[in-house]
Each structure stands twice: as C-alpha cells, then as structure tokens.
Amino acid sequence: MAQKKVYDKEFKIQAVKLGREIGFSKAAKELGVNTDTLYGWNKRAKDARLDLGPGTQTPDTAMSLTEEVQKLRQQNKALTHRYNGYRTPYQVRTAA
C-alpha cells in the first residue's frame, strides 16, 4: 500500500491559487498531486477552512458573499418590521 503524502499548508494554498489560474487538472499534473485532492483543497478554501490570505476572492465567492449580505439585510429588515409591530406606543392613562 502506498504511503500517504502529507502536504504543508503553504503548498496547499499555492496549489489552489495555481489551480484557479490555469485549471485544476493541469495544476494537479504539474504539481504531481491527485486531481481530487486539489479539488478537495479548493472546496476547503471556498468553505473558509483553508485561508488563502487577503485578496483571494474569486468572482463566484464574491458574488455569493454579496448575495448573503443582501439576504441577511432582508431578514434584518423583516425582523425589525415584525418587532415594531409588537410595540405599542406609550399611552398615558387619565383618570376617568
């Protein structure tokens, strides 16, 4: 049975960046890494479990972040609106 290779974090980060630039299949061949392994590292990077450093947002992840912000703002607005519906203005009771 083949011995399991261990790659350091910096190698993984550079491999993912290269894969995003030239394609994962080509990068895997050049680096001598299994294609599925490289795709797995990319998935971890997308799930924020592998930090690629600043400025590594791809258009896809940037768009998904924008969509998430919009969704959260809509939820916040709906909850605020709902909360305001439960509030009643302060009323001063006068003796009758």
pTM: 0.50
Question: Does domain 1-53 correspond to CATH entry 1.10.10?
Answer: yes
Domain limits, the chain: 1-53, 55-84
Selection from 39, 5, 45 nearest residue 24 by Cα = 39
For residue range 25-37, what is the model confidence (pLDDT) as tens digits?
999 999 999 999 9
Q: Angle CA(45)–CA(49)–CA(51) in degrees, nearest 5?
A: 60
- List, in order, residues 6 or more apart from 57 with CB less than 8 Å away: 65
CA-closest candidate to residue 31, choices 18, 44, 47: 18
Three-state DSSP at 96 gives coil
pLDDT tens figures, 16-64: 888 988 999 999 999 999 999 999 998 888 877 666 666 555 555 555 6
pLDDT of the residue at 47: 77
**Higher per-residue pLDDT: 1 or 86:** 86
